[in-house]
């Protein structure tokens, strides 16, 4: 592609036209190949401008930079050159040009919130696919490109990587895209210039305050999805108005159609007559298109909300009510979300991604609901992540202790922190409840302890890591799979 054509899409402060042909766009100098555009931008911890010379040495044909010093140093060289004010916006604009504006060929649904993003996105994509539409799905667990499953490295990647996935999807016939949009990505403008057709808000509870500092800042970041990030606001805003932050959003939105959902007769998509069993949830769904009986293999009240959100999103994308009902019944098991480990000894072992106090409380509440009518106990294993919001550690401990008969406190992803120090902070909250607690830092041994403490009829909850296949230690990532460890322990007990 001609460099001067790329420049037409990039908002520049100053630029140098050049007859060079560019092949691709990169923001990581280690990925630069001959003929690429390298976008050098300042980040939160690293300034990409320090790698400009490395990119040039690797064969970059053009440089886009948000540094006047870097721009001045490159003048006179045989390069396409642009100085921009916003590096991340420029990355999105250049990527859009080079990948031939794939976002314009896809109807994009974005999902944001603290909990439920992944399940809601999976459900919505499954509903869209059920009527024959090819989709791109980008989220925490995995990425789908018109049916092809790929690894996900981030909940919401950088704009360049999003647009490449969109381009792959368009070539494969995709017409829809569903994305989890994290608060980090919205604030950092990784989704700059992506026109959103349907925006879904699940809820807001304490998380990521290590980054956002306050709940108001966290809420402001989430709200950007409904304002438009370099684009007009979404056509439709689907909001959980049982959540106070969702109700706040509803009162501020003026340019989007607002669809409320919740376990509330005032909602546009409402649930009533909820029945929850192990492996099944039923409820009557009230919608603008009529009333439907929903039967889903997903379990629990939290999945009632996820099903309502996905149903409202699917309806906004033109699905009929009977199509939504059929897709909901077919189900979409999301890896690491209330995933039951097969067992022959009468002990129910569940692996779940719950890693906030609110999510942990919901998980334990669901286990309690399933225990109604028998005398089984709830045993909860959890840990807290390192290099993340420390204030939620005692809150998680308190949530675990308040709802469980036994707590097993262990390590999660300690990253650069001392696992014992993290455990000590969470233990404060458990002790406040008076619930028995066993501390075992080694996560594999802790899973053994939790399962061996159970009897037939008990439920063991293994919370925090869910679908993850590695544990992040100070020395680096090591293979670790909660499902595999639990399955081994149960097999040995047969």
C-beta of residue 25 within 8 angstroms of C-beta of residue 39:
yes
Give the pLDDT confidence score for residue 211 in this predicted structure. Answer: 58
Which domain, by its residues, includes 455? 339-493
- Shared domain check, 430 and 281: no
How many structural domains are present in the chain? Answer: 3
Query: Averaged over 321-329, what is the pLDDT?
Result: 97
- Shared domain check, 241 and 319: yes
- Shared domain check, 152 and 194: yes
CATH assignment of the domain containing 34: 3.40.1390.10
In terms of Cβ atoms closer than 10 Å to its own Cβ (0-12, 13-18, 19+), residue 175 is middle
For the stretch 400-430, pLDDT in tens is 999 999 999 999 999 999 999 999 999 999 9
For the stretch 171-210, pLDDT in tens is 999 999 999 999 999 999 999 999 999 999 999 986 655 6
Give the pLDDT confidence score for residue 427 in this predicted structure. Answer: 98
Tell me the C-alpha to C-alpha distance, in Å, between residue 377 and each of 76, 348, 400.
Answer: 73, 10, 13
Most distant CA pair in the chain: distance in Å? Answer: 79
**Which residues lie across from 271 on neighbouring strands?**
285
Distance between CA atoms of residues 292 and 271, nearest Å: 10
Mean pLDDT (the chain, rounded): 94
- Shared domain check, 120 and 52: no
- Shared domain check, 170 and 77: no
- Shared domain check, 205 and 63: no
Give the pLDDT confidence score for residue 209 in this predicted structure. Answer: 57
- Residue 41 is given by DSSP the state -
- Shared domain check, 243 and 368: no
Query: Averaged over 350-379, what is the pLDDT?
Result: 90
The residue from 288, 309, 330 where one domain ends is: 330
The b/e string for 422-434 (b: 16+ C-beta within 10 A; e otherwise) is: bbebbbebbeebe
- Shared domain check, 235 and 358: no
**Is 83 or 78 the better-scoring residue by pLDDT?**
83
- Shared domain check, 405 and 306: no
CATH assignment of the domain containing 416: 3.90.190.20
Among candidate residues 298, 120, 85, the one with its CA nearest the CA of residue 198: 120
The residue from 276, 299, 330 where one domain ends is: 330
HEC secondary structure over 287-310? ECCEEEEEEECCCCHHHHHHHHHH
pLDDT over 70 (residue 24): yes
Give the Cβ contact number of residue 288 at 10 Å.
10
The residue from 98, 120, 151 where one domain ends is: 98
C-beta of residue 243 within 8 angstroms of C-beta of residue 263:
no
- Shared domain check, 119 and 7: no
375: Cα within 13 Å, side-chain hemisphere:
1
pTM of the entire structure? 0.88
Tell me the C-alpha to C-alpha distance, in Å, between residue 412 and each of 142, 207, 372.
Answer: 21, 16, 30
Out of 4-8, 21-25, 82-86, 336-340, pick the least confident: 336-340
Query: Averaged over 32-48, what is the pLDDT?
Result: 92
CATH assignment of the domain containing 290: 3.40.1190.10
For the stretch 460-473, pLDDT in tens is 999 999 999 999 99
pLDDT over 60 (residue 479): yes
Identify the band that residue 213 occupies on the pLDDT scale cut at 50, 70 and 90.
low
Give the pLDDT confidence score for residue 174 in this predicted structure. Answer: 98
Query: Averaged over 27-48, what is the pLDDT?
Result: 93
- Shared domain check, 352 and 303: no
- Shared domain check, 111 and 89: no
């Amino acid at each position: 592609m001609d460099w001067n054509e790329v420049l037409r899409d990039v908002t520049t402060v100053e630029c140098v036209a050049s007859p060079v042909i560019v092949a691709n766009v990169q923001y990581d100098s280690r990925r630069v190949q001959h003929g690429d555009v390298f976008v050098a931008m300042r980040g939160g911890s690293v300034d990409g401008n320090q790698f400009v010379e490395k990119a040039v040495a690797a064969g970059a044909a053009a440089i886009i930079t948000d540094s006047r010093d870097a721009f001045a140093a490159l003048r006179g060289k045989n390069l396409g050159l642009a100085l921009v004010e916003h590096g991340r916006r420029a990355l999105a604009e250049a990527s859009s040009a080079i990948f031939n504006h794939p976002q314009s060929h896809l109807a994009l649904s974005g999902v944001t919130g603290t909990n439920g993003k992944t399940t809601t996105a999976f459900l919505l994509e499954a509903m869209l696919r059920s009527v024959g539409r090819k989709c791109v799905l980008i989220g925490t667990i995995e990425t789908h490109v018109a049916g092809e499953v790929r690894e996900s490295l981030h909940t919401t990647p950088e704009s360049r990587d999003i647009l490449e996935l969109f381009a792959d999807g368009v070539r494969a016939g995709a017409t829809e895209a569903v994305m989890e949009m994290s608060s980090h990505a919205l604030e950092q403008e990784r989704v700059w210039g992506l026109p959103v057709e349907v925006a879904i808000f699940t809820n807001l509870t304490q998380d990521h305050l290590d980054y956002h500092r306050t709940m108001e800042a966290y809420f402001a970041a989430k709200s950007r999805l409904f304002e438009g990030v370099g684009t007009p606001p979404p056509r439709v805003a689907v909001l959980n108005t049982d959540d106070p932050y969702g109700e706040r959003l509803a009162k501020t939105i003026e340019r989007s159609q607002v669809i409320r959902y919740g376990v509330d007769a005032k909602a546009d998509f409402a649930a009533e007559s909820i029945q929850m069993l192990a492996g099944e949830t039923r409820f009557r769904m009230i919608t603008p298109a009529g009333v439907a009986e929903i039967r889903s293999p997903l379990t629990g009240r939290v999945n009632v909300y996820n099903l309502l959100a996905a149903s409202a999103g699917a309806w906004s994308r033109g699905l009929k009510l009977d199509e939504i009902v059929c897709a909901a019944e077919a189900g979409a098991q999301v890896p690491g979300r209330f995933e039951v480990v097969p067992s022959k000894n009468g002990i129910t072992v569940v692996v779940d991604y719950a890693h906030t106090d609110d999510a942990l409380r919901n998980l334990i509440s669901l286990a309690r609901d399933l225990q109604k009518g028998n005398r089984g106990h709830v045993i909860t294993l959890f840990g807290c992540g390192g290099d993340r919001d420390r204030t939620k550690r005692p809150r998680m401990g308190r949530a675990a202790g308040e709802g469980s008969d036994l707590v097993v406190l262990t390590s999660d992803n300690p990253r650069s922190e001392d696992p014992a120090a993290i455990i000590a902070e969470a233990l404060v909250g458990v002790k406040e409840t008076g619930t028995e607690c066993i501390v075992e830092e080694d996560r594999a041994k802790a899973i053994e302890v939790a399962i061996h403490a159970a009897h037939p009829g008990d439920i063991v909850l293994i919370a925090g890591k869910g679908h993850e296949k590695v544990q992040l230690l100070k020395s680096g990532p090591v293979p670790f799979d909660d499902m595999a460890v639990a399955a081994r322990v149960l097999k040995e007990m047969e």
